Amino acid sequence: MGDVWRGFDAVLDRPVAVKLVRPQAVTSPQVAEEFEKRFRREARVTARIQHPGVPQVYDAVLDESYEQLFLVMELVDGVPLTAYVHPDEHLPVSWAVAVAAQVATVLSYAHEVPVVHRDLKPGNILVARDGTVKVLDFGIAAILRTDVTKLTATGSPIGTYRYMAPEQVRGARVTPSTDLYALGCVLHELLCGRPVFAGDNEFQLMTQHVANAPTPLGQLRADVPPELEELVLDLLLKAPEARPVDVQAVYERLRPFLPSPADEPGDEEAPLPDWAGSAGVPDPTGVFRRPYAPRSRAAVNGAAPAVQGGDPHAPGAPVPALAPAQREELREQIREVYDHCEALWDEDRFSQAAEVVGEMIETAARVLGSENGAVLALRRRRAFSRQLAGDHRAALPEFEALADAFARVSGPHNEATLDCRAQAARCRGELGQVTEALAGLGDVLETVRAIDGDVSENAVELRRDIGMLLLAQGRAAEAFGVLDPLHADLCLVLGPRHELTAEVADTLALIRLDLDGDASGPPL
């Protein structure tokens, strides 16, 4: 019935998810009205659940003509649980339990509204890169007091039969206990790699959920603790009133299998299996080990994230031959990207500009090679876009990689090489790595002075930046020693009324006040 697109908020310059109905799905006014009701319900229901495990709804467009029906939502960078379920290799027990516990916390907030999800399944549960579990698609949830049980054009019950509680199969009234049954199905599948029931068709699945007893986990996986097996069996009881009293009770029974704060990962369990791509798999136990922990130092220092499959910009990759017509077509596409980027820059939409250029980089690198001049120029434009957006953490590794690439292609003293080295140092300064930033800028300035002199445009900017960084470190005397001769040079070259000359003069005046004043007084 619909699509989910990655989009950009043009006002706040941030990525978003846009969920919209396909026009061809609206086959009649009645169907259009039904979709509009579903979207309106999704927007209102989701907005009521104030929990970080539920993607936020930013906006809803539901026009009366039903020609535009879409939601603008938080974009979640994560992987669905379906990617981690494998029949032959099992996930660590703590990993599966941590996912279930996070889902339980989301459901506790939803059930308080009260809202029943009605379609909880691995495909609707994402694990974000930081280990946070996100529960998606509350669109078919209903406010309990409205007692809405059906919301499809065919009148069939809502849900996915593989995870559907017996009362849901029968079309009876759903309650929070219905979600508990689905949570039991999900936890069973995470622990043993197989669904609770695996009928060949919907009728068989419906019959199994209503009449068949599930296989105890201990018979499918020897290392599942008996108490955890008992919890899953209790969640999968046929009668809703026989299941745990509420999701809070489920969480309490999961707690003994969760790590405590400050616990470090131990060797008691095997790591994630190779098929799960364990090198880059998020850790959902982290929120229990270190609740409200700061970002990792690797991320703060601007380390580039690992890329599966190797570095897409690594030199030496084979470049396919390109016909003249194809090469001209690619040039035209690159020109269009530059025009689009310029337009976005004019509107201060720098994050979106970085995304637009990034899409072209991958295509151009495959055809032209990662160190082709046009590709390097695109990569440089993306790095500048990220820097202008204030995302210095992402811009830093990009500028460093570009400096290395330009040095290989054009030499270490090339203007682009030096500029990328300087921009990388400036990013480090913005990230608080002042010592490293000063060293980087000083190295570049030494080379620029030898090539272009002390009052070239690049040299002047570097001297100004070095002085300001020294001042930021509280090294006022050293900053004065850099900025005072710079001011004299600027008066000669640009004149005393030039904007940059005046800026340096104002800074020097403040430094003089600090140097000549009472050392015990407040710092400026």
Each residue of 444-481: pLDDT tens digit?
Answer: 999 999 999 989 999 999 999 999 999 888 889 999 99
2-74 is classed CATH 3.30.200.20: yes
Q: What would the two tokens of residue 101 be?
A: 């516990």
**Cα atoms found within 13 Å of the Cα of residue 510, Cβ hemisphere only:** 15
119 is a catalytic site residue: yes
Domains 2-74 and 324-516 share a fold: no
78-262+282-288 is classed CATH 1.10.510.10: yes
Torsion (CA) 292, 294, 298, 302 in degrees, nearest 10: 120
Note the pLDDT tens digit of each residue in 405-453.
999 999 999 999 999 999 999 999 988 888 999 999 999 999 999 999 9
Nearest alpha carbon to residue 181 among 146, 202, 155, 208: 208
User: Residue 420: what are its φ and ψ, rounded to 5°?
Assistant: -65, -35
Give the predicted TM-score (pTM) of the model.
Answer: 0.68
| Per-residue confidence (pLDDT) for residue 306, from 0 to 100 | 36
- Residue 126 contacts residue 185 (beta carbons within 8 Å): no
| Per-residue confidence (pLDDT) for residue 2, from 0 to 100 | 74
Domain 324-516, what architecture? Answer: Alpha Horseshoe (1.25)
| ω into 114 cis (within 30 of 0) | yes
Q: Is the pLDDT of residue 153 over 80?
A: no
Catalytic entry in 3, 13, 77, 119: 119
Q: Degrees (nearest 5) of the Cα angle 470, 474, 475?
A: 55
Note the pLDDT tens digit of each residue in 216-267.
999 999 999 999 999 999 999 999 999 999 999 999 999 999 988 867 655 4
CA distance 415 to 380: 13
| Per-residue confidence (pLDDT) for residue 98, from 0 to 100 | 96
User: Residue 8: what are its φ and ψ, rounded to 5°?
Assistant: -130, 135
CA distance 263 to 289: 5
Exposure of 466 by Cβ count < 10 A (0-12 exposed, 13-18 middle, 19+ buried)? buried
Q: Is the pLDDT of residue 64 over 70?
A: no
Q: CB neighbours of 94 closer than 8 A, spacing ≥ 6?
A: 257, 258, 259, 269, 285
Q: Is the pLDDT of residue 154 over 70?
A: no
Q: Is the pLDDT of residue 69 over 80?
A: no
| Domain residue ranges in the chain | 2-74, 78-262+282-288, 324-516
Name the DSSP letter for residue 100: H
